[in-house]
Amino acid sequence: MRKNSVKNRKINDEVRRVLAQIISGGIKDPRISPMTSVLAVEVAPDLKTCKVWVSVYGDDQKKQDTMEGLGSAAGFIRGELARRVNLRNTPQLRFILDDSIAYGVEMSRRIDQVRAADMRAEEMRGEEPDEEFVEEPDQEFDEESGDEFQ
């Protein structure tokens, strides 16, 4: 089975769906945050290993605790995965913390701060703030007939 084959993508999707169910409702470890999401899964073509990218909402301590909890519960999670998904081999799970969502939120916050600072600077100079640029169409249309004006 090739890495990007249809079969491999279907297995990745099914494993991701089942792991999300297991993590959100089946683990009683108090270290694992209830705000944990499974973002992506990559099962090796030989079905021996599986990388699981997870996102944890919260501070660094919650993220660290959740990753430790997932690491210690990996055997239980693998057993549940074997019970729910019929695969020739049940892969070894390796959890990887993905901070891309938090990074995106931080970049958005910084962009908003820069925009607000620009607006304040323009107001202090007495200029009108720039409106969003809206491109006008090259040709105008007669709304009633739908014909183009020349």
Cα diameter, the chain: 73
SS3 41: strand
Domain assignments of the chain as residue spans, ordered by start: 6-99
Residue 24 and residue 18 in contact, taking contact as beta carbons nearer than 8 Å:
no
Within 8 A by CB and 6+ apart from 109, the residues are none
Within 8 A by CB and 6+ apart from 82, the residues are 90
Checking if the pLDDT of 131 tops 70, the result is no
The least confident of 17-26, 32-41, 58-67, 131-140 is: 131-140
pTM above 0.75, yes or no: no
Tens digits of residue pLDDT in 77-122: 999 999 999 988 899 999 999 888 778 888 999 999 999 988 888 8
pLDDT band at 134 (very low <50, low <70, confident <90, very high): very low
| CATH code for the structural domain at 6-99 | 3.30.300.20
Please list the helix, strand and coil fractions of the chain in percent, rounded to the nearest 5, in that order.
Answer: 45, 15, 35
Across 21-34, average pLDDT: 87
- The confidence score (pLDDT) of residue 150 equals 47
